[in-house]
Amino acid sequence: MNGTRGRAATIVAGACLAVVLIVVPSAQAAVTASHITSPKDPTYLIYQDNSPNTFPVAGTSTGTSGDHVDLACYYGTSSYTLAHNVAVNANGSFSAPAVSLANPPFSPCWLRAIPSGTAPAKLKPFAGVRVLIGDNRLYTVDTGPNAGALYDYYSFFQQLGGGFDYYSLGSCGVCDGYLSEPSFAQQTVTFWSNAALYARPTGAANRSEVQVDGANAYPTLAAEQINSKATGLPKLKYSYSQNKKTGNVVIHETDPLVKCTDPTYPPTTVSCATFVPTGVTVVTTMTQDQSGRLAWVSDVFKSTDGKSHALDLQWDNSQRFYGSSGNASLDAYEFPGHHSYSTHVAGDSVSLPSGPGTIFVRVQGVPDGNVLTGRGAIVYDRTATKARFRYATSDSESFTLDQTGKVPAGGSTTFRFAYAQGYTQASVNSLAHLASGVFKGCTVPKVTGKPLATAKKAIRRANCTVGKITHASSTTVAAGDVITSKPKAKTHLDYHAKVSLVVSNG
C-alpha cells in the first residue's frame, strides 16, 4: 500500500507530529494582541504535493515597526508554526503573501499571530481563524513503457467535525476516517480501508476481491502493483472539487477493470505480462459532508463492450477506532439481523439477511461518548450475503462484504455505501438513518383526495419534498384537497425529490 497511508499511522503513533513552539525571551513587548483578518473563518485549503502551493495571511496587531509575529496553528495543547518572523508595519498591520502549505498539521487548527519566538500562556488576545488544510497527491508510473500513467491518488479533506482521506478503488477507497472535537485537541482514527477491491487481500484468500464473469479482475492500482510494465495497463481518471464555504467534497474516479491473459493466481510479473479488458469500467463518486462525519460512495459498474457481465465482489472494510493508542482487535460489531455487539477473530463469517443494511461499530466495553475511540456505521444499499473476517490485530481489523450483481448488456449496475462516524451513538444513528433514507430514495405516496396538510406530511415521510403548489377549480374534489400530484403516486425518485401538487378551489 502507498506510503501516504502512514498519515493515520503517524497520528496514532505520534499524536499529530506537532511542532511545539519553543519559549524564547521575547523582544516583542509591543505585540500584546493580534487579529487575523485574512483568510476568513473557517478556511478550507488543499496542499498540492505535486506542485507545492501557498496561501496569503494578513492581520492587525498592537505592534509597530521592528516587531515580528509568527503564524502558528493551534490544536488542543499543541501548535504548528506555518511562518516565522513576519514583519509588523508601523500601523500594527502585518502581511505574509505566500505562507507555505507544505507539511500541514493533521488536525483542524486555530491560526493565530503571536509574538515571534514566544509561546503565550494566554491565547485569547491573539484572535485567530479556523484553518482546515487538506492534501492532494497524484501517483504515476516512474519508468518503463507506461511511464507517466496515473495509477493512484491520495486526497485528504478536513472539516470541523472530522474528515476522511481517499485513494482509488484498487488502493484503499475510503481509507481513513478522523473525528475532531470542538477544541481540536483529540483526533481519533475510525475507519481504515473501506469500499476497496484489492488484488491480494490480507488473510486467507485465493482470489482477487473483484471477479468479472468468474475471472479475477483488477482496478488500475491493483494492476500497477502486479506489473507496472505490462501491456494494457489501464488508465485511471480522477478529479475532485471542494465547496469553499462548507468544506464538502466530491471526488470522481473512472477505473477500468482488467484481467491477466494468464489466469494463474496470484498473478506475477511473469504470468501477467499483458492485461486485457474485462468489458467493465467502474465509475466512482465519493462525497464527504455533514461536517466531515459522513463519507458516501457510489460505484457504477458499466458495460463497455455492449455485453452483459456477472460480478462477484468482496468489498474490503477495515477499522481502527482509537486515538493515540488502542487495540482494534477489541472492535465490536452489530450486524443486520443481530441485536447485540460482538467481537470477531480472523476466520469468522457472519451471514447477513437480504436487502440493504447497516453495520454498527464500536470498541467493546467503552462507554458512549468516549472521544478516544468514537463510533461508526457502515450502510450498504443492496443485499450482502456474508461478512468474512480476514484479520484482527491491535493495529486494525478487516472483513470483506460479499455482494454479487449483473451488469446488463450496454448498461450499468450500482453499489452504494456510506461511512458514518461520531463520538456518540445518537449521532451515528442519526447519520446512518440519513444515509438509509438517501439510499431508499423517494417513492411518491398517493395523496389525491387528501387535505393539503395531510398530503404534505405524507410526502415528507416518504423522503420526498413538497414542490410547487397550484390551485384549480374542481367539481369532484373538495376545496383544500389535492386533485393531482406530479410525478404520480408510486413513482420512485431520488431522495428529497420534489413533488408538485394541484389543490382544489372547490
Residue 29's pLDDT is 55
Q: Which residue range is the domain that position 463 belongs to?
A: 443-504
- Closest to 468 (Cα-Cα) out of 487, 489, 445: 487
Answer with the one of 132, 152, 180 that is the final residue of a domain. 132
**At 202, is the pLDDT very low, low, confident or very high (cuts 50, 70, 90)?**
confident
Confidence bin at 16 (pLDDT 50/70/90): very low
pLDDT at 153: 98
* Whole-number pLDDT of residue 12: 39
Whether residue 110 is found in the same domain as residue 146: no
Asked if the model's pLDDT at residue 25 lies above 80, the reply is no
- Asked whether residue 284 falls in the same domain as residue 338, the answer is yes
Extract the C-alpha cell encoding 420: 458514518
Give the three-state DSSP class for 501: strand
Higher pLDDT, 10 or 162: 162
Closest by CA position to 121, among listed 21, 208, 250, 52: 21
Q: Is the per-residue pLDDT at 386 higher than 50?
A: yes
The chain-wide mean pLDDT, for the chain, equals 92
- One domain, residues 128 and 148: no
pLDDT for residue 33 is more than 90: yes
Residues 337, 435 within the same domain = yes
For residues 302-311, average pLDDT: 98
213 and 343 share a domain? yes
Please write the tens of the pLDDT for every residue from 87-114: 999 999 999 999 999 877 778 999 999 9
Q: Is 123 found in the same domain as 7? A: yes
As separate numbers, helices (DSSP H) first and strands (DSSP E) second, the chain gives: 4, 33
Count of the separate structural domains present in the chain: 3
- Read off the pLDDT band of 305 (50, 70, 90): very high
**Cell numbers found for residue 7:** 498519515
Q: Are residues 326 and 412 in the same domain?
A: yes
**Does position 27 have pLDDT exceeding 70, yes or no?**
no
- The pLDDT of 490-494, averaged and rounded, is 90
- Distance (Å, rounded) from C-alpha 492 to C-alpha 378? 24
The 10s digit of each residue's pLDDT in 401-429 is 999 999 999 999 999 999 999 999 999 99
Domain boundary among the residues 101, 132, 163 is at: 132
Check which CATH number belongs to the domain holding 493 and give it.
3.30.10.20
180 and 39 in a single domain? The answer is: no
Please enumerate in sequence order all residues whose Cβ is within 8 A of that of 361, keeping only pairs 6 or more positions apart, or say none: 190, 319, 321, 331, 332, 333, 375, 376, 377, 378
* Whether residues 432 and 489 fall in one domain: no
Domain co-membership, 425 together with 455? no
The pLDDT score that the predictor gives to residue 204 is: 63
Predicted confidence at residue 325, as pLDDT, reads: 79
Task: Provide the CATH number for the domain around residue 193.
Answer: 2.70.98.90
Q: Are residues 350 and 476 in the same domain?
A: no
| CB of 11 closer than 8 Å to CB of 188 | no
CA distance 331 to 308: 39
Q: Answer with the one of 71, 106, 132 that is the final residue of a domain.
A: 132
Which pLDDT score, from 0 to 100, does residue 324 have? Answer: 75
pLDDT tens per residue, range 69-93: 999 999 988 899 999 999 999 999 9
12 and 59 fall within a common domain: yes
